[in-house]
């Protein structure tokens, strides 16, 4: 049983409250990603699970046993550090076998386990080398190998890809997913990169300022964000936000007046709010369409200021009103992009937009969710 | 937000506030124990003991009556103490400036001739690693009245170490030979920390030779020189071995430095209480001087 | 490249002066030892002869053999070697442990204790002589190896240097070792010590040299000729040899040999060590 559960976890440094109350359940064999901006507490949470940080308040359970005061080495976990932390004076084999040596495991067994891990990671030919003779990608594999050898119940990864170059990163991502399939162990992975989160995580935990904003599968979070923070955190370019006030409420839709002028319809259940309340409208770049000005039906007037051609898509940035926000629109690269400075009308389907209240909480979307497809991922 | 139901009892069950501090205190204590024991036994306790002794009438082996500040009162009026202090300062004067100046010159030369660095540096630093008595033996031999090489070069049968005017200077010269390597090392490190680009930029501006030294080297080096002077000052004030061995403080105690006086008082006259007072008073003088020097250095910077 | 050439050209005069200064200074500084060597390699009567000679008229190793056979020089060399070795090993051990505790472990009163340890600089060793002498007397350690070694193992400088070095090592290594199940002593031994190899060597050599050269403490604690260390013994040689300068110089050179050799062989480490140690006292 390699489940992890956190109950009311709080962490305080002097007067600073870093983790403000976290409750989370991680099932056996799950690949969970902690993601969030820097300073959100994701690394601290990981280190708390690892035992490298004390818990100020709350309970941590690993494998069903309370682990608050258990030494890191006895928690049944292994960690892959961001900097890999390979002992520079030991060979790869010695690095990988160090924990076993400390646990007084017989040498033959150490050699066997090290050999097997090296095979899985294809570093068998590097066993006698010292870390400084390895490339970044190789070092990272040794770090992972060091964790595998210990046969932990839970693997902890602290931003393992951040020190690799872009090409290697993509490749390693695939390998990590494969590793998870092979080992079937519980894995907790910390990253600030939302692409890594979306592609690797079976379950994503979005953290902000020491609190969990939302937990769910990638498609849950992307298509049904619980609040403005999560909506703006996932997706690139970021979701576009517009300040507005609530004008009219229908049964399952609402119409809002934008701060920059114009009125648009959104399919959302705003029963709990009153007319005139301040809300935020959110529309993803891929759901916005460019129309010629003067068309019927509420659109948002804007002026094109920048066009970025990326090969598969074209990003059009338009400015709403004088010195207003820059709105990003993702369009097909095939169709001709609008000219710089031209006026356009931004339109979107009412069912593809979100409304958030003053606190940032989302208003339940008024459309049926089951028709949306999950993102394609390696099964 | 996904949560499971939370019972208050479960949440409060495991507060572990100070656990880490407590957990690390035991291994920390074990690791510190040997040093702590040695420190306590061979520094802290003796230090407090000296302080206490200075307030008593004591012999070398036995602490007796508490006399308060009587020792210090005697100290203030003791001509031997003051003359020893004077000798110490005189010695410091004779050594600090030559040590820094020659050390700077050596550092500049070593920095200049990088190819011969290990030879130059080796020759200048080698004396520093030698025991004091090697220095004193060789110095004594060279300063011999009849067969000493110094007299052969200078002429005459001068008994340098028994001469009232020359005893301390002779010891000072020997000390310069012995310890200049350390100053050279410090100043060399300071020189090496000056970025090369500064010199190149200055050269492009047309500066060369002495101008380079004045405009770039000296300003960058000043704080290091200051530190070296300060370290050297304190070290010179603490002189003991050289004068004790070479001149026994003579002739007529003209080369008896303060620590020598303290030693004599404690071990020859067996007046440990008074000696302790000398030691404490001297320590305060040293601390006061170094604080003063540091203040001056900071103002000049 | 051309800039440097320009500098050198305009400084030709200075270069000549510098070469001259280097030659003169080097000669001056090497002279005393060379003169001592020249003295030691001649028969005794030549040292006091009326006619002065720079080089020995008769070359002989007499002075050295006499020094090593008569008197206690070999015994003193042995004492110095043993004491210096023990001081070095013990100082390194307790300093590494203390430095690790101060650097990597968290416990209440850490900075206070460290500050207290560093306070040892303020008080000169000379001020502690009487109490130390008494303590040693009470422990029965006068004229003993223990008495010689123990007070010398308290070295705040070494602890400070090690702590600075440990502080600069990324904490990841310690954390990885903790996750691997190592206790603090094990982390120090298996991870920090190997990483610190160079600086430990440097400080060990510096400590060795310092212990070998220590005059004051042996002077206080040793009264028996047999237990003397070289620096102390050399001051007794007048009594041992009378006024025999060839032998005296031979004794001096023998006493200097181990540390001089250590310096010549480990020049870079010694330099590094002394520099690290001096960074503090400023």
Q: Which value does ipTM take for this structure?
A: 0.83
Show residues of chain C in contact with B234, CB under 8 Å: 281
Are A40 and A95 members of one domain?
yes
pLDDT-based confidence at residue C9 (cuts at 50, 70, 90): low
Partners of residue C128 on adjacent β-strands = none
Burial A2-26 (b: 16+ CB within 10 A, else e): bbbbbbbbbbbeeeeebbebbbbbb
**Is the domain of A62 the same as that of A118?**
yes
Contacts of B15 (CB under 8 A, 6+ apart): A55, A56, A57
- Whether residues C267 and B122 touch (CB distance < 8 A) is answered with yes
- A109 and A135 both lie in a single domain: yes
Burial B262-274 (b: 16+ CB within 10 A, else e): bbbbbbeeebbbb
Segment C6-28 mean pLDDT: 81
Q: How far is CA A322 from CA A45, A302, A326, C2, in A?
A: 43, 9, 11, 57
- pLDDT per position as a tens digit, C57-85: 889 898 888 888 877 888 898 999 999 99
Cα gap A305→A339, rounded to integer Å:
9
Q: N- to C-terminal Cα distance for chain C?
A: 37
Q: Does residue A375 belong to any structural domain of this protein?
A: no
User: Which residues 53-92 of C are in CB contact (within 8 Å) with B?
Assistant: none
Q: How far is B135 from chain C (nearest CA, A)?
A: 8
Can you give the residue range of the structural domain that contains A129? 4-229
Shortest distance, CA A220 to any CA of chain B (angstroms): 12
Residue C160, phi then psi, degrees to nearest 5: -60, -45
Helix, strand, coil percentages, rounded to 5, for chain C: 80, 0, 20
- How far is residue C163 CA from its own chain's centroid? 21
Interface contact B10-A8, CB threshold 8 A = yes
Q: What is the mean pLDDT of residues A275-286?
A: 89
B284 touches chain C (CB under 8 A): no
Residues A140 and A271 in one domain: no
Rounded to whole angstroms, the maximal C-alpha distance in chain B is 103
Question: What whole-number distance in Å separates Cα of residue A194 and Cα of residue A36?
Answer: 8
Q: Give residue C7's pLDDT.
A: 55
Are the C-beta atoms of residues C125 and B63 closer than 8 Å to each other?
A: no
Q: Is residue A372 part of a domain?
A: no
Q: Are residues A148 and A186 in the same domain?
A: yes
Residue C178 predicted with pLDDT over 50? yes
Q: Which of A229, A260, A276 is the last residue of a domain?
A: A229
- Is residue A80 domain-resident? yes
Contacts of C280 in chain B (CB under 8 A): none
Which tokens in the block code for residue B33?
A: 């124990």
Q: Are A191 and A164 in contact (CB under 8 A)?
A: no
Same domain, A201 and A289: no
User: Do the strands A254-258 and A240-249 form a parallel or antiparallel pair, or are they unpaired?
Assistant: antiparallel
pLDDT value at position C188? 94
For residues C82 and C102, give the distance between their C-alpha atoms in angstroms, rounded to a whole number: 30
Residue pair C189/A101 in contact (Cβ under 8 Å)? The answer is no
CB burial of A88-109 (b: ≥16 within 10 Å; e: otherwise) equals eebbbbbbbbbbbebeebeeee
Measured between alpha carbons, how far is C236 from C223 in angstroms, rounded to an integer? 11
**Taking a C-beta distance cutoff of 8 angstroms, is the pair A41, A6 a contact?**
no
Interface probe, candidates A10, A55, A221, chain B, greatest B C-beta count within 10 A? A55
DSSP strands (E only) in C60-219: none
CA distance A25 to A7: 9
Domains of chain C: 2-64 (no CATH), 67-281 (1.10.3720.10)
pTM over 0.90: no
CATH number at residue A189: 3.40.50.300
Final residue belonging to a domain, choices A201, A229, A257 = A229
Contact C99, C200 (CB under 8 A): no
Range name among A102-111, A326-335, B177-186, C125-134 with the lowest pLDDT average: A326-335
For residues A79-99, give the mean pLDDT.
93
In whole angstroms, give the CA distance from residue A52 to residue A82.
14
Helical (H) or strand (E) element with A142: helix A136-149
Same domain, A155 and A251: no
Q: What is the pLDDT of residue B3?
A: 40
Task: Tell me which chain C residues have a C-beta less than 8 angstroms from the C-beta of B279.
Answer: 124, 126-127
Given this model, what pLDDT does residue B1 score? 38
Number of domains in chain A: 2
| DSSP 8-state secondary structure symbol assigned to residue A68 | T
Among C170, C181, C197, beta carbon nearest to A73? C181
What is the number of residues in chain A? Answer: 379
Q: For residue A377, tell me if it sits in a domain.
A: no
Residue A83 sits at the chain C interface (C-beta within 8 Å): yes
Query: From CA C72, how far away is CA C240, in angstroms rounded?
Result: 9
Phi, psi of A365 (to 5 degrees): -65, 145
Distances (CA, A) of A266 to A219, A252, A263, A328, C247: 21, 9, 10, 19, 106
> Is the preceding peptide bond at A237 cis, omega within 30 degrees of 0?
yes
Q: Do A259 and A363 have their domain in common?
A: yes
Task: Indicate the pLDDT class of residue C14, thresholds 50, 70 and 90.
Answer: confident
- Which strands sit side by side in the sheet containing A57-62, from one edge to the other? A16-26, A4-13, A57-62, A65-66
- Structure tokens, C265: 């062989």
Are A264 and A307 spatial neighbours (Cβ–Cβ below 8 Å)?
no
For residue B127, the distance in angstroms to the closest alpha carbon of chain C comes to 8
In this prediction, residue B120 carries a pLDDT of 92
Mutant choice from C20, C29, C207 vs B, greatest count of B C-beta within 10 A: C29
Q: Please identify every stretch of chain B with a pLDDT value under 50, giving residue numbers as ranges.
A: 1-18
Residues with Cβ within 8 Å of C112's Cβ and at least 6 positions away in sequence, in order, are none
Flag if C101 and B129 touch (Cβ within 8 Å). no
Strand partners, A57: A10
Name the residue of chain C whose CA is nearest to B203's CA.
Answer: C7
- In this complex, the residue of B124, B141, B185 whose CB is nearest that of residue C275 is B185
B105 is written with which tokens? 């010159």
Find residue A300's DSSP bridge partners: A346
- Measured CA to CA, the distance from residue B6 to residue B24 in angstroms comes to 32
Residue A283 has pLDDT above 50, yes or no: yes
- B293 → chain C, closest CA residue: C282
- A288-297 pLDDT, tens digit each: 888 877 766 5
Q: Is the dihedral of CA C272, C278, C280, C282 positive or negative?
A: negative
Q: Detail the DSSP E strand segments found in chain A.
A: 4-13, 16-26, 31-35, 57-62, 65-66, 77-80, 154-158, 186-191, 203-208, 211-216, 240-249, 254-258, 263-266, 278-283, 289-291, 300-309, 313-319, 326-332, 343-347, 353-356
Confidence of residue A157 (pLDDT cuts 50, 70, 90): very high
Q: Is the pLDDT of residue A284 over 50?
A: yes
pLDDT confidence of C211, banded at 50, 70, 90? Answer: very high
Residue of chain A with shortest Cα separation from B21 = A54
The CATH number of whichever domain residue A356 belongs to comes to 2.40.50.140
Q: Which residues pair with A207 in a beta bridge?
A: A212
Give A184-209 pLDDT, tens digit per residue: 999 999 999 888 999 998 999 999 99
A91 shares a domain with A224: yes
Q: What is the b/e burial string over B72-99, where b = at least 16 CB atoms within 10 angstroms of the residue's CB? A: beebeebeebeebbebbbbbbebbbebb
Chain C CB contacts of B208 under 8 Å are 7, 10-11
CB of B240 within 8 Å of a chain C CB? The answer is yes
Alpha-carbon distances, residue C31 vs A152, B177, B262, C38, C269 (angstroms): 69, 10, 35, 10, 25
Token output for B181: 């390597």
Taking the C-alpha atoms of residue A79 and residue A190, their distance in angstroms, rounded to an integer, is: 11
What percent of chain C clears pLDDT 90, i.e. is strictly above it? 42
Domain assignment of residue A294, yes or no: yes
Report how far residue B69's alpha carbon sits from residue B74's, in angstroms, rounded to the nearest whole number.
Answer: 9
Contacts of B15 in chain A (CB under 8 A): 55-57
Considering the domain architecture, whether residues A243 and A217 belong to the same structural domain is answered as no
- Please tell me the distance from the alpha carbon of residue A114 to that of residue A336, in angstroms, as a whole number: 57
pLDDT at residue number A373: 44
Say which range, A180-189, C101-110, C124-133, C234-243, has the weakest mean pLDDT: C234-243
Shared-domain flag, residues A33 and A73 = yes
Of A196, A229, A262, which residue sits at a domain end?
A: A229
How many whole angstroms from its chain centre is CA A243?
A: 26
Q: Quote the DSSP letter at residue A349.
A: -
Q: Please check whether residue C18 touches B, CB under 8 A.
A: yes
What is the structure's pLDDT at A367?
Answer: 61
Q: Is residue A373 part of a domain?
A: no
Of C170, C180, C195, the CB nearest to A83: C170
Least confident of A19-33, A153-167, A362-376: A362-376
Q: How many helices (H) and strands (E) does chain B have?
A: 15, 2
Smallest CA–CA distance, residue C58 to chain B, in Å, is: 17
Q: Which helix (H) or strand (E) holds B58?
A: strand B56-58
| pLDDT at site A48 | 94
When pLDDT is cut at 50, 70 and 90, the band that residue C5 belongs to is low
Mean pLDDT within C187-205: 92
Chain A residues lying within 8 Å of B25, measured CB to CB: none
A379 in a domain, yes or no?
A: no
Residue with more model confidence, A374 or C207: C207
For residue A118, count other CB atoms closer than 10 A to its CB: 22
**Residues A144, A19 within the same domain:** yes
Give the residue from chain B lying closest to C158, CA to CA. Answer: B35
Lowest mean pLDDT among A113-127, C155-169, C229-243: C229-243
Using CA atoms, how far apart are residues B133 and C160, in angstroms rounded to an integer?
29
- Using a pLDDT cut of 90, give the percent of chain A over it: 50
Q: What integer is the mean pLDDT of C186-199?
A: 92
The full length of chain B comes to 301
How high does pLDDT run on average in chain C?
87
Q: Is A327 domain-assigned?
A: yes
Instruction: Please check whether residue A290 is in contact with residue A337, taking contact to mean a CB–CB distance below 8 angstroms.
Output: no
- The better pLDDT of the pair B12, A66 is held by A66
**H or E segment at C173?**
helix C171-179
Whether the CB of A315 is below 8 Å from some CB of chain C: the reply is no
**Domains (range + CATH), chain B:** 78-270 (1.10.3720.10)
Whether residue C173 and residue A87 make contact (CB cut-off 8 A), yes or no, is: yes
């Amino acid at each position: 049983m390699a489940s992890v559960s956190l109950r009311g976890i709080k962490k305080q440094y002097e007067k600073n409250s870093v983790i403000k109350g976290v409750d989370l359940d991680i099932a056996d064999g799950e690949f969970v990603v902690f993601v969030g901006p820097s300073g959100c507490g994701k690394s601290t949470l990981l280190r708390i699970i690892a035992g490298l940080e004390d818990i100020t308040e709350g309970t941590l359970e690993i494998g069903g046993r309370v682990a608050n005061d258990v030494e890191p080495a006895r928690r049944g976990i292994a960690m892959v550090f961001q900097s890999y932390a390979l002992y520079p004076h030991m060979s790869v084999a010695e690095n990988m076998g160090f924990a076993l040596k400390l646990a007084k495991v017989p040498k033959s067994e150490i050699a066997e386990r090290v050999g097997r891990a090296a095979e899985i990671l294809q570093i068998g030919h590097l066993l006698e080398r010292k870390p400084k003779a390895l490339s970044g990608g190789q070092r990272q594999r040794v770090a992972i190998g060091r964790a595998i050898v210990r046969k932990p119940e839970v693997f902890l990864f602290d931003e393992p890809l951040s020190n690799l170059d872009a090409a290697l990163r993509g490749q390693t991502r695939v390998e990590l997913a494969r590793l998870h399939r092979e080992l079937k162990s519980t894995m907790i992975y910390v990253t600030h990169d939302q692409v890594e989160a979306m592609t690797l995580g079976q379950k994503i935990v979005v953290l902000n300022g020491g609190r969990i904003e939302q937990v769910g599968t990638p498609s849950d979070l992307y298509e049904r964000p619980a609040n403005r923070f999560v909506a703006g955190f996932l997706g690139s370019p970021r979701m576009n936000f517009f300040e507005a006030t609530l004008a009219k409420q229908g049964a399952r839709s609402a119409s809002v007046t934008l701060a920059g002028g114009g009125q648009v319809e959104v399919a959302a259940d705003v029963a709990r709010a009153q007319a005139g309340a301040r809300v935020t409208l959110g529309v993803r770049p891929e759901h916005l369409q460019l129309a010629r000005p003067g068309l019927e039906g509420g659109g948002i007037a804007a002026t094109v200021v920048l066009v970025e051609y990326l090969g598969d898509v074209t990003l059009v940035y338009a400015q709403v009103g004088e010195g207003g926000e820059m709105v990003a629109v993702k369009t097909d690269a095939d169709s001709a992009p609008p000219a710089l400075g031209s006026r356009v009308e931004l339109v979107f389907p009412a069912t593809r937009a979100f409304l958030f209240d003053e606190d940032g909480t989302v208003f339940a979307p008024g459309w049926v969710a089951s028709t949306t497809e999950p993102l394609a991922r390696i099964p | 937000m996904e949560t499971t139901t939370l019972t208050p009892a479960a949440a409060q069950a495991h507060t572990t506030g100070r656990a880490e501090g407590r957990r690390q205190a035991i291994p920390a204590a074990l690791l510190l124990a040997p040093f702590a024991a040695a420190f306590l036994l061979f520094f802290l306790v003796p230090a407090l003991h000296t302080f206490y002794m200075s307030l008593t009438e004591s012999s070398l082996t036995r602490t007796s009556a508490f006399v308060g500040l009587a020792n210090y009162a005697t100290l203030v009026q003791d001509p031997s103490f003051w003359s020893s202090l004077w000798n110490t300062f005189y010695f410091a004067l004779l050594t600090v400036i030559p040590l820094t100046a020659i050390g700077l010159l050596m550092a500049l030369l070593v920095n200049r001739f990088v190819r011969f660095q290990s030879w130059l540096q080796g020759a200048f630093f080698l004396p520093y690693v030698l025991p004091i008595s090697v220095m004193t033996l060789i110095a004594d031999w060279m300063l011999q009245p009849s067969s000493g090489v110094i007299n052969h070069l200078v002429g005459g049968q001068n008994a340098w170490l028994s001469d009232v005017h020359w005893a301390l200077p002779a010891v000072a010269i020997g000390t310069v030979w012995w310890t200049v390597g350390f100053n050279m090392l410090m100043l060399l490190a300071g020189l090496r920390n000056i970025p090369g680009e500064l010199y190149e930029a200055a050269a492009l501006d047309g500066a060369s030779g002495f101008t380079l030294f004045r405009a770039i080297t000296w300003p960058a080096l000043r704080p290091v020189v200051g530190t070296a002077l300060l370290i050297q000052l304190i070290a010179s004030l603490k002189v003991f071995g050289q004068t004790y061995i070479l001149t026994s403080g003579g002739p007529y105690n003209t080369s008896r430095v303060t620590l020598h006086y303290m030693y004599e008082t404690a071990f020859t006259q067996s007046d440990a209480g008074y000696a302790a007072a000398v030691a404490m008073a001297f320590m305060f003088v040293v601390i006061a001087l170094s604080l003063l020097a540091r203040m001056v250095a900071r103002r000049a910077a | 490249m051309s800039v440097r050439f320009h500098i050198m050209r305009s400084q030709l005069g200075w270069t000549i002066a510098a070469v001259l200064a280097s030659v003169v200074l080097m000669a001056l500084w090497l002279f005393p030892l060379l003169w001592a060597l020249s003295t030691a390699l001649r028969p005794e009567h030549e040292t006091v002869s009326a006619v002065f000679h720079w080089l020995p008229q008769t070359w002989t190793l007499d002075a050295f053999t006499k020094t090593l056979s008569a008197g206690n020089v070999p015994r003193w060399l042995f004492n110095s070697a043993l004491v210096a070795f023990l001081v070095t090993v013990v100082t390194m051990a307790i300093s590494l442990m203390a430095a690790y505790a101060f650097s990597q472990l968290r416990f209440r009163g850490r900075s206070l204790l460290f500050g207290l340890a560093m306070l040892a600089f303020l008080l000169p060793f000379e001020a502690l002589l009487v109490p130390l002498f008494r303590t040693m007397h009470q422990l029965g350690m006068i004229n003993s190896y223990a008495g010689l070694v123990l007070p010398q193992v308290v070295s705040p400088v070494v602890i400070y240097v090690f702590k600075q070095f440990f502080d600069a090592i990324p904490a990841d290594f310690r954390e990885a070792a903790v996750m691997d199940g190592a206790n603090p002593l094990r982390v120090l031994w298996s991870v920090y010590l190997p990483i610190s190899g160079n600086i430990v060597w440097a400080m060990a050599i510096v400590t060795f040299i310092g212990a070998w050269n220590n005059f004051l403490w042996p002077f206080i604690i040793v009264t028996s000729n047999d237990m003397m260390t070289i620096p102390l013994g050399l001051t007794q040689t007048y009594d041992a040899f009378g006024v025999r300068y060839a032998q005296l110089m031979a004794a001096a050179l023998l006493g200097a040999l181990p540390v001089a050799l250590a310096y010549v062989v480990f020049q870079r480490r010694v330099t590094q060590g002394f520099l690290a140690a001096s960074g503090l006292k400023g």
